[in-house]
Amino acid sequence: MSISKACVIGAGVMGSAIAAHIANAGIPVLLLDIVPPGEGDRSRIAKGAVERLLKTEPAPLMTRAAAKLIEPGNIEDDLHKLKDVGWIVEAVAERLDIKQGLYRKLEAARKRGCIVSSNTSTLPLHMLMEGMPTTLQQDFCITHFFNPPRYMRLLELVAGPLTRPEISTVITNFSDQKLGKVVVLAKDTPGFIANRIGVFWVQAAVKAAHDLGLTVEETDAVMGRPMGAPKSGIFGLIDIIGLDLLPHVDASLRQALPADDMYRTLPADFPLLPKMLADGYIGRKGKGGFYRLNTSDGNKIKESISLKTGEYAVSTPSRLDSVAAAKSGLRILVTHKDRGGKLAWAVLSKTLAYAATLVPQIADSIVDVDLAMKAGFNWKYGPFELIDKLGAAWFAERLAAEKLAVPPLLAVAAGAGGFYKLSGQGLAQLDTNGTHQTLARQSGTLLLSDIKTTSKPLAKNSSASVWDVGDGVACLEFHSKMNTLDPDSLTMLMQALEITKRSMQALVIYNEGENFSAGANIGLALFAANIGMWPTLEQFLEQGQSVMRALKYASFPVVGAPSGLALGGGCEVLLHCSAVQAHAETYMGLVETGVGIVPAWGGCKEMLIRHLPGPRDAKGPMPGIMAAFEQISMAKVSKSAAEAKDMKFLRVTDGITMNRDRLLADAKARVLALVAAGYKPPVPVELRLPGPTARAALGLAIENFSRQGLALPHDVTVSNQLATVLSGGMTDVMDVLEENRIFDLEKQAFMTLLHTVPTLDRMETMLATGKPTRN
Amino acid sequence: MNHAVIVGYARSPFHFAGKGALARIRADDLAAAVVKELLTRTKIEVNDLEDLLLGCAFPEGEQGINVARLIAFIAGLPLTSGAATVNRFCGSSMQAIHNAAGAIALGAGEVFICAGVESMSRVPMMGFNPMPNPALAQQMPGSYMSMGITAENVAKKYAISRLAQEEFAVASHHKSATAQQLGKFTNELVVLGDVAVDGCIRADSSLQALAGLKPAFDQNGVVTAGTSSPLTDGAAACLVVAESYAKKHQLPILARIKSIAISGCSPELMGIGPVEATRKALKRAGLTMADIDIIELNEAFAAQAIACIRDLDLDINKVNLDGGALALGHPLGATGARITGKAAALLVREGKQFALATQCIGGGQGIATILEAVA
């Protein structure tokens, strides 16, 4: 049984975004809603939803073309189209009567065995299926997506007592491989896993902030990064979710949870809530919540609400010692004497203990709970990993010392040396019987972090390492801050090439950082330029160029496997690989002009080559040059791997992996396939460029942009240097240029620009603020 | 001397490039449809056809390979007739009419189709491969100057305010919208599938809406997208024959070509080109501006049109009765045939004696045609 076409019913925010993500996977999807009363197009709700998808930020769709895979319709006229649909996702209003009415309608329309799932977050499966035909119950499950579905990796899957086992398998495989989801099997209990613990965490923190007198900034500073949660923390998160949803979420949990559940000890709301809702402060989707942007005097000023007075004032960053001290460990944070430390203990002691009471009630294993919190709330560590950070025994003792209940599972962990343990086979998790069982990864999943726990690198320096990932494949891992590239990274890349040549078959370039690489380390470049170390700079540049050359023409295949940002030098590394296997969420671009320079490790050269006209493009020397110029001068970055293909940062033949955890395995398979096919390095490209003629054409364009106010003064300087590189310098269209000539031009332009003050200003601002300056 | 007369005029609906209804139609198919329909309407004996002269400003890509000849094939013209693509940028298809008039005067043929086409959707302005001469670009920046900047230059030199331009543009839209409403374009339009009417006219154009637009070419300038003619797809064609031929075959004559002229000017001020061209043409016709009853002045930009009106002291009530390019659109290669054919048709419709059709040309030229009613 496979799913070659899907259907989502309910074209609200969640339903339409789920349909968008199914389309991202290349699967055609019907999107149906009701026929609204009144005249007009009977499918206008779903059609409007598709139009909205194209305008929503962050984009639910990976490319505009994916929208064409969504076929809008309505549930009165289009149910006959369900006959070739393998999976129907119901995402209509959270009302039992509406959902059950729809299910009855679907019984007649769906083909035999077609899976029906509900995206409900509040209604249990046993209620949804009450009185439903057995045939439906056998094909039914809950698939709970998190918002926004493209970006939030968690999918909670709940199967009922009659659900056919293969349904879980099909949904798990499809969601894992096609949708890139972390699929966690949850029990049919209120809030499933992530919301059960996440809402507890939020409510506990709101209460503690009031009890201990912390500001919203302080609360978020403590509950964000120090515990490995997103920096939005608690109040920032409520603003994102919407304050208006809070009472509903609370009420649905409260009425469904058992009488002795710890959640019931927390207050349902907080003093300010009614007034904030009455004043329309419902969060980011409205005019603000705990935080707001005050634009009344023309400036955007971030303000926050006082939990005591309810008045807004200019937001002031938290300056808690405990937050600074938390860098030395979670235990330092929760034992710190200031109010930040007290808040951390108050919230984590409750939340982590609560989690420990819930296995096996809500999930079969602790790792499922950790996975759910990591993928559903973007925590860096799950609750059981956090307990291990504190020390399970220490945590149990502290709870006991404070006369708080020690959950039995925690007591077991305290005695067994923690929830997780490293064994010879890798990581093992504590089961409910108190023994550690080795974690089995899904087949097709390969994590460098697993390999790293059980082996030593083949080579290593401060910025990068080389690992043996099996089957004769080496893996180069960047691990500097933001994975920026410095001379050490380049040295290790060169060494990886040498090691592979000597003793391996092939190389992949991959890491498990948030970003593949943010580009060359401009801090180093700025420092060298400021003290006039021009030879050092030139050396760094030339080192990069010769490494890229060696990479491109290596006798064995090299596959780059990016996820997240691959900018500037990081993008250039990928441009020189034999092939790329990219995670779907890969954002590629040559952004050098933003810091006042031009790509000089072959980025200009490779984009000239990539933009050579294909059979369907306009012929002649200019279109490719103009396309490369537009992309690089405007520092365009792809918003997905699929879009990177449209922009030619990726080749049409490059692969895209939807599931982050499968990226290394897919990259390895790709590089081994290249080996098996008898890999030969590429033949050098000979370029014919029009030189000064192209330079004049681009010069005219730059002048027009400048007059239109679309280019700042230094943009003009940088663009003119870029124009010289992309034109081929002092060449003629009758001459043939070798790739090295473009390397030379890149170097010239790069060094010239580094001698200008505005370029150094751009670098300085970027390093200080993370944003480009306008000069 | 053999006089040339215009005995037929037709055009496609004009639509915005890129997003308009004609964006997916090739220029050759578009022009061929108009040529074919013109022949049907005029019921001319096609074997008398000497030549298809077709104006096109960027004759490359789908508009390349002497596209006139290919259009002749698509339109099913007899293989015995000829076809040439004429390029004088925006003046291309008016030039095609001049070429025909010259040939007729020389006795080198009696029947000519003078057409023009531009798909600005499918062949970009400046072409696919803009390759300026670097030395010339440096010595004489005007030679490759953007048209918008030349409009800014004209606005500055002739002190034409942004408001004056916007008033002119609104008037053009309102004239076109009214003409459209009254069906005054019906006779000239060739229906293409389900595309039956013009697509660029904004009946609701207002000073308020235009005032909100940002300058399009110079951030400190006064020319906006609203006071510039839009990038447009379209085709137009005139049937030009010897007067003796027309009389012999009892063809309904719209107008006689009385005189023609070309004039060069500074490329930085190309929009002022019509002034000298018109003066030359008037002189050649032995007329003064007071004699002219109907004027078709191409509106590449409101600024240059106003400058020409002021410099030539034109009576605004005689200018562009059914609106101009600001509202209708300006498919570069097709515009000359449109305004010349339109001026001829207006002479008949309004029952007047003399008409002027004139336009500015990128690179610094003006072109003008004076038409005369034939009793």
Query: In whole angstroms, what is the distance from residue A543 CA to residue A538 CA?
Result: 8
The count of other CB atoms within 10 Å of the CB of residue B359 is 32
Question: Given an 8 Å threshold on Cβ–Cβ distance, is B218 in contact with A708?
Answer: yes
Region B7-27: mean pLDDT is 97
Question: Given an 8 Å threshold on Cβ–Cβ distance, is A697 in contact with B132?
Answer: yes
Q: Which residue, B92, B21, B88, B28, is CA-closest to B61?
A: B28
**pLDDT grade, residue A276 (50/70/90)?**
very high
In chain B, residues with a C-beta closer than 8 Å to the C-beta of A705 are none
Query: Does the beta carbon of B132 lie under 8 angstroms from any beta carbon of chain A?
Result: yes
Q: Which residue, B104, B84, B366, B343, is CA-closest to B238?
A: B343
**Residues B3, B15, B90, B98: which is the catalytic one?**
B90
**Nearest CB to B131; choose among A619, A693, A707:** A693
pLDDT tens profile B258-274: 999 999 999 999 999 99
> From B139, which residue of chain A is nearest by alpha-carbon distance?
A696
Is B114 noted as a catalytic residue in this protein?
A: no
Distance from the Cα of B328 to chain A's closest Cα (Å) equals 25
The beta-strand segments (E) located in A373-487 are 420-423, 426-430, 436-438, 459-460, 464-468, 473-478, 484-485
Is the pLDDT assigned to residue A5 strictly greater than 80? yes
Query: In whole angstroms, what is the distance from residue A31 CA to residue A45 CA?
Result: 10
**Nearest CB to B134; choose among A623, A695, A709:** A695
Q: Which residue, A380, A382, A375, is CA-closest to A152?
A: A375
> From A692, which residue of chain B is nearest by alpha-carbon distance?
B134
In chain A, residues with a C-beta closer than 8 Å to the C-beta of B138 are 696
- B267 preceded by cis ω (within 30°)? no
| Mean pLDDT, chain B, whole residue set | 97
Q: What percent of chain B has pLDDT over 70?
A: 100
Question: Given an 8 Å threshold on Cβ–Cβ distance, is B217 in contact with A695?
Answer: no
**pLDDT grade, residue A1 (50/70/90)?**
low
Is the pLDDT assigned to residue A674 strictly greater than 80? yes
Is the pLDDT assigned to residue A406 strictly greater than 90? yes
Of A324-328, A434-438, A468-472, B214-218, the poorest mean pLDDT is in: A434-438
Fold classification of A6-185 (topology level): Rossmann fold (3.40.50)
- A58 preceded by cis ω (within 30°)? yes
Distance from the Cα of B58 to chain A's closest Cα (Å) equals 14
In chain B, residues with a C-beta closer than 8 Å to the C-beta of A690 are 131
Pairing of strands B49-55, B111-119: parallel
**Beta partners for A429?**
A420, A437
Query: Does the beta carbon of A223 lie under 8 angstroms from any beta carbon of chain B?
Result: no
3-state secondary structure of B19: coil
Q: What does the longest C-alpha to C-alpha distance in chain B come to?
A: 59
pLDDT tens profile A676-693: 999 999 999 989 999 999
Q: What percent of chain A has pLDDT over 70?
A: 100
Region A463-492: mean pLDDT is 97
Task: Supply the pLDDT for residue B178.
Answer: 98
Is the pLDDT assigned to residue A465 strictly greater than 70? yes
Give the residue range(s) of CATH 1.10.1040.50 domains in chain A.
194-402
User: To which H or E segment does residue B83 belong?
Assistant: strand B82-86
Query: Does the beta carbon of A541 lie under 8 angstroms from any beta carbon of chain B?
Result: no
Query: Does the beta carbon of A734 lie under 8 angstroms from any beta carbon of chain B?
Result: no
Distance from the Cα of B121 to chain A's closest Cα (Å) equals 14
Is the pLDDT assigned to residue A606 strictly greater than 70? yes
Let me know: does B115 contact B95? Beta carbons within 8 Å.
Answer: no
**pLDDT grade, residue B334 (50/70/90)?**
very high
Q: Report ipTM for this prediction.
A: 0.88
Task: Supply the pLDDT for residue A647.
Answer: 97
Query: In whole angstroms, what is the distance from residue A216 CA to residue A208 CA?
Result: 11
Distance from the Cα of B268 to chain A's closest Cα (Å) equals 14
**Beta partners for B224?**
B215
Region A445-464: mean pLDDT is 94
Give the residue range(s) of CATH 3.40.50.720 domains in chain A.
6-185
A9 burial (CB, 10 Å; 0-12 / 13-18 / 19+) is buried
pLDDT tens profile A135-162: 999 999 999 999 999 999 999 999 999 9
B294 burial (CB, 10 Å; 0-12 / 13-18 / 19+) is buried
- Token pair, residue B344, equals 């001829």
Task: Supply the pLDDT for residue A269.
Answer: 87
pLDDT tens profile B65-97: 999 999 999 999 999 999 999 999 999 999 999
Task: Supply the pLDDT for residue A425.
Answer: 77
- Token pair, residue A502, equals 């000597």
Question: Given an 8 Å threshold on Cβ–Cβ distance, is A696 in contact with B134?
Answer: yes
> From A616, which residue of chain B is nearest by alpha-carbon distance?
B61
Q: Chain B window 161-180: which residues touch A at a Cβ cutoff of 8 Å?
A: none
Query: In whole angstroms, what is the distance from residue B30 CA to residue B33 CA?
Result: 5
Region A274-300: mean pLDDT is 90
Q: Chain B window 203-222: which residues touch A at a Cβ cutoff of 8 Å?
A: 215-219, 221
Is the pLDDT assigned to residue B129 strictly greater than 90? yes
Region B154-168: mean pLDDT is 98
DSSP class of residue A176?
Answer: I
In chain B, residues with a C-beta closer than 8 Å to the C-beta of A700 are 130, 132, 137, 144, 146
Q: What percent of chain A has pLDDT over 90?
A: 91
Task: Supply the pLDDT for residue B281.
Answer: 98
Give the residue range(s) of CATH 3.90.226.10 domains in chain A.
448-609+631-676
Query: In whole angstroms, what is the distance from residue B215 CA to residue B156 CA?
Result: 14
Query: Does the beta carbon of A708 lie under 8 angstroms from any beta carbon of chain B?
Result: yes
Distance from the Cα of A176 to chain B's closest Cα (Å) equals 40
Question: Given an 8 Å threshold on Cβ–Cβ distance, is B128 in contact with A619?
Answer: yes
Query: Does the beta carbon of B133 lie under 8 angstroms from any beta carbon of chain A?
Result: yes
Question: Given an 8 Å threshold on Cβ–Cβ distance, is A704 in contact with B217?
Answer: yes
pLDDT tens profile A334-389: 999 999 999 999 999 999 999 999 999 999 999 999 999 999 999 999 999 999 99
Region B16-20: mean pLDDT is 95
Question: Which amino acid is it at B123?
Answer: V
In the structure, how many helices (H) and strands (E) does chain A have?
A: 31, 25
- In a mutational test of the B interface, the residue from A622, A708, A733 whose CB has the highest number of chain B CBs within 10 Å is A708
> From B152, which residue of chain A is nearest by alpha-carbon distance?
A707
Is B330 noted as a catalytic residue in this protein?
A: yes
> From A733, which residue of chain B is nearest by alpha-carbon distance?
B131
Task: Supply the pLDDT for residue A217.
Answer: 96
Using only the alpha carbons of chain B, give its radius of gyration: 19
pLDDT tens profile A511-548: 999 999 999 999 999 999 999 999 999 999 999 999 99
> From A617, which residue of chain B is nearest by alpha-carbon distance?
B128
Task: Supply the pLDDT for residue A358.
Answer: 96
Is B360 noted as a catalytic residue in this protein?
A: yes
Question: Given an 8 Å threshold on Cβ–Cβ distance, is B146 in contact with A700?
Answer: yes
**pLDDT grade, residue A454 (50/70/90)?**
confident
Question: Given an 8 Å threshold on Cβ–Cβ distance, is A696 in contact with B146?
Answer: no
The domain A448-609+631-676: what is its CATH number? 3.90.226.10
Q: Which residue, B44, B55, B63, is CA-closest to B340?
A: B55
Region A42-71: mean pLDDT is 96
Helix axes A713-727, A739-754, angle to 10 degrees: 160
Question: Given an 8 Å threshold on Cβ–Cβ distance, is A707 in contact with B131?
Answer: no
**Residues B3, B98, B173, B330: which is the catalytic one?**
B330
Question: Given an 8 Å threshold on Cβ–Cβ distance, is A623 in contact with B130?
Answer: no
Query: Does the beta carbon of A618 lie under 8 angstroms from any beta carbon of chain B?
Result: yes
State the architecture of A194-402 in CATH terms: Orthogonal Bundle (1.10)
DSSP class of residue A266?
Answer: S
pLDDT tens profile A559-604: 999 999 999 999 999 999 999 999 999 999 999 999 999 999 999 9
In chain A, residues with a C-beta closer than 8 Å to the C-beta of B61 are 618
**pLDDT grade, residue A618 (50/70/90)?**
confident
Query: In whole angstroms, what is the distance from residue A8 CA to residue A102 CA?
Result: 12
- Token pair, residue A596, equals 């006042």
Report CA-CA distances (Å) from B223 to A704, B144, B149, B220: 14, 19, 9, 9
Query: Does the beta carbon of B375 lie under 8 angstroms from any beta carbon of chain A?
Result: no
